[in-house]
Amino acid sequence: MTDTVLSITGLTLALPPGADRPHAVEDLSFDIRPNEIVCIIGESGSGKSITSFATMGLLPKMLKPKAGQILFEGRDMLSLSEAEHAKLRGNRMAMIFQEPMSALNPCYTVGDQIEEVFAAHTSLSKQQRRAKTMALLDEVRLPDPQRIYHSFPHQLSGGQRQRIVIAIALALDPSLLIADEPTTALDVTTQAQILAMFRDLKARRGAGIMFITHDFDVVAEVADRVVVMQRGRVVEQGTVDAVLNHPTHPYTRQLIDAVPRRTASDARPLPDSDLALQVVGLEKTFHIPRTMFTPARTVQAVKPTSFDVRRGETLAIVGESGSGKSTLVRCLIRLTEPDDGAVLIDGVNLMHKLPSEMRAARKDIQIVFQDPYGSLNPRRTIGDQLIEGPINFGVPKAKAIEKALELLRIVRMQPDALNRYPTQFSGGQRQRICIARALMVEPKILIADEAVSALDVSVQKEVLQLLADIRDRMGLTMLFITHDLRVAAQISDSIVVMCKGEAVERGTVAEVFGNPQSDYTKTLLAAMPGQNWELPDLSAATA
């Protein structure tokens, strides 16, 4: 076993009685070698994260190993005590979790949390621990390491927090590094930096890396070998070229087919219709008062912005976190009051309406939020939540229920969903329900704010297709807010690119992708993962 860092053989983990299947993972086998990135890919519930938890000795007590081995440096991890696991974790093996804000303690500075690893596993002095911590901050390319060292997690950006978690994992030069969806929630440019860092770490550190993801473009960017999992079983594994360019299993082909792409044949002409939405000079500035620790400051979240959207058109608003996308949307529907500008729906200016009149006006413009789990009340049935809007606008309950059943059919949900609760549905199903709820009041404009960013690739494809079908069927005008240019290209007719509160570019998908004018747009396009991977033609294999 000297040529492998980790060897998993015949691993089977039993689920408790009453689960949707007998085993969390079943007969799982694969190896990770030094200086190698093995990507574990699959949808939610495929067993990816459970595999990493079993390797790290972090399995929930309800999951019981039934068979197999996890050999790390010649020792079976399933037979070790908790104390023996604790000596290895952070020392010989380390894990980078998906959400860095949850992985970091908000009560301690970044420097203290990195130094804690050295204090737990070494006898280094305080000065030596600090020197090594500063070297790690520099290695993961954080700006101004001295400032970062004394910062708390909430004072850093998402990308900086992720680099801190990586620095903690690298502190003692582990031979096995596990990264669980480390780039899922990051902007495209930050994602590109983190992926480049993993490639660099593999070359310089020589560690074996288990990289868990559901994004095939990320796999194409960093993987040496790929393991595809479905419902706890490995359905395909091999080199990155074999799996991505010559997949043999139907499930792998299904996932690759769902990767967002847009070709010239997908383009449709811009609708030749009346203007549904006009935004004129909309702007918003936040004045943040002075505190005991920070001076007062002014942030121009949205600089004067103007654009038109025709009836039946889908406009994507793209940009990184902090670009002003969400503030712009909140100003459009006056959840945040803009400082100046006009928002006209069919020629009627929402900015002229009193707060008491906005309640009726919001019927014309509805929003689907990013998180389908936080958007629905877990204590109320789906039916109650769907009919609430129409009833508030005077629609009789019987007619509202009839409308709810019709929209459930449109979003491809069963009628019995009316009597069930949100916890009984998957993330993709909840997002379909949120779309149905937004359509219940028959809006003229539908806003989707990062509505597919948290979904698996195949579910994402279904929801994007559903939104396109509803747009065409109901003649909706759509604003699609996203930081993923691949998704924007697939769903939209035209694109507005925002940077630091300013709309720096506007054009059709072909114009923005084919001939970008703004340097910022060029940077975003250059940072998209998987650009050197051309999707294989799977039509013959699928047929």
Across the chain, mean pLDDT equals: 88
* Beta strand residue intervals within 423-533, DSSP E: 445-449, 477-482, 494-499, 502-508
DSSP tag of 416: G
Domain-wise residue ranges, the chain: 1-92+175-258, 100-171, 312-334+348-527
Q: Which CATH architecture has domain 312-334+348-527?
A: 3-Layer(aba) Sandwich (3.40)
Average pLDDT (104-131) is 92
pLDDT above 90 covers a percentage of the chain that reads 45
Q: List all residues 6 or more positions away from 214 whose beta carbon is below 8 Å from its beta carbon.
A: 41, 42, 43, 44, 181, 184, 456, 457
User: Could you give phi then psi for residue 377, rounded to 5 degrees?
Assistant: -80, 115
Euclidean distance between CA atoms 375 and 230, whole angstroms: 28
Terminal CA-CA length for the chain: 42
Per-residue burial over 437-474, b if 16 or more Cβ lie within 10 Å, else e, is bbbbbebbbbbbbbbbbbbbbbbbbbbbebbbebbeee
Q: What is the pLDDT of residue 320?
A: 84
At 14-63, the pLDDT tens digits run 988 877 789 999 999 999 999 999 999 988 888 898 999 999 998 888 88
Q: What is the pLDDT of residue 115?
A: 94
Q: What is the pLDDT of residue 283?
A: 94
Q: How many other CB atoms are found less than 10 A from the CB of residue 190?
A: 21
Taking CA atoms, 110 is separated from 100, 128, 346, in Å, by 12, 16, 51
The answer on pLDDT for 372 being more than 80 is no
The answer on pLDDT for 103 being more than 70 is yes
At 386-438, the pLDDT tens digits run 999 999 988 999 999 999 999 998 888 889 999 999 988 877 788 889 999 99
Q: What is the pLDDT of residue 1?
A: 42
Q: Which residue has the higher pLDDT, 111 or 355?
A: 111
pLDDT interval class at 7 (50, 70, 90): very high
Domain 1-92+175-258 has CATH 3.40.50.300: yes
Q: What is the pLDDT of residue 261?
A: 75
Strand order in 176-180's β-sheet?
Answer: 93-96, 176-180, 208-213, 36-41, 225-230, 233-239
Q: What is the pLDDT of residue 185?
A: 66
pLDDT interval class at 303 (50, 70, 90): very high
Euclidean distance between CA atoms 88 and 77, whole angstroms: 10
Strand partners, 95: 178
Average pLDDT (507-536) is 89
- For the record, the structure tokens of 256 come out as 């690759």
Topology alike, domains 1-92+175-258 and 312-334+348-527? yes
Instruction: Give the predicted TM-score (pTM) of the model.
Output: 0.80
